Amino acid sequence: MFKLGEYYEDEAKPIMKYLNEAGIKAEVRTYTCASSDCSEYLEGTIGELDGEVLEIEEFKQFLDATRSAFAKGATPENFKEMLFTELDPSWREKKERCDKLFEHLEECAPEDEDGNAEDAHVCAEGCSEGCTSCDEHQNLDEDDSALTDMARLIFAYDFALGLLSRNNIESAEDAKSNLEDPVLRIMVDSDEYDGDLPVKQTVTVDLNTVSEIYVDEFTTPLFEELEEGFEEEYPEEALHLMSLGMLIKDLAEEPSPGKIDMETFSERLTLQMENDGEILIVDGSDTADEIARILEKNDVIKHKGDTIKWKA
């Protein structure tokens, strides 16, 4: 079986639908996998962290803004907006400017020959030919400032969420006492930190169900029956199916005369095709034993020892 790829369950279903409708035999095998991530922190009160963290003054501002937001009646629903307002009363205008900038960059992004948008930052350096909305992009310095300010607010919000979680704050009532001298967790790099506080870790292990799609090699020539949408949605999978399909089709329809040895058979597993200067090379020479097994199973060849002969 040919492994087409690994996908989340919801991603595998539409691919299988395409394959089944084309007549390509395929099956899904699922398994559970784990991925882990480790974050390193210094933990302590403001007094304990003062002198240990270079940006401590900024974290003091974040803490003061969190206290002020709760003092003014912040709830879980509006805490983010109230925190942003405490730190930067003009954040809404900056967010609107960032939104317009992102829309503009998307519109201006040059397209590759397949019609896909390339990196949008090209426009930020100087709008590309064909840009139709440059009026939205007249002051790059102001744009950069808005982006920087919004990034700082998002960073502050992430810090605040960690602060609330670490100090068991779920309501304004909790905040009154638990934010007086709370424990802060500030991310650091242990390789760069040379202070006296212990570096603590938060390890996150994510368990996911992954689906592997396997395709019967001998049915891959049916790639020609795949609906047009498949190549648009899954270009890499389409290329791999086409490559294997053309190789299998060539072997099944163009038998080598007489008997050949495995070395000669292996040489047949490399195809090169050209179309208006575009070249596709399919190299299956390392799969000679497996391809021979597939062809023999489907009554295309007889394989004995080092000898292969096509059936009449």
Residues whose CB falls within 8 Å of the CB of residue 216, separated by 6 or more in sequence, listed in order:
1, 2, 24, 25, 26
The whole model's pTM is what? 0.62
Residues whose CB falls within 8 Å of the CB of residue 72, separated by 6 or more in sequence, listed in order:
82
> pLDDT (tens digit, 9 = 90+) per residue, 58-107?
999 999 999 999 999 888 899 999 999 999 999 999 999 888 888 877 76
CA dist 70 and 67 (Å) reads 5
Token duo for residue 169: 């704050």
> pLDDT (tens digit, 9 = 90+) per residue, 23-51?
999 999 999 999 999 999 999 999 999 98
CA dist 237 and 223 (Å) reads 10
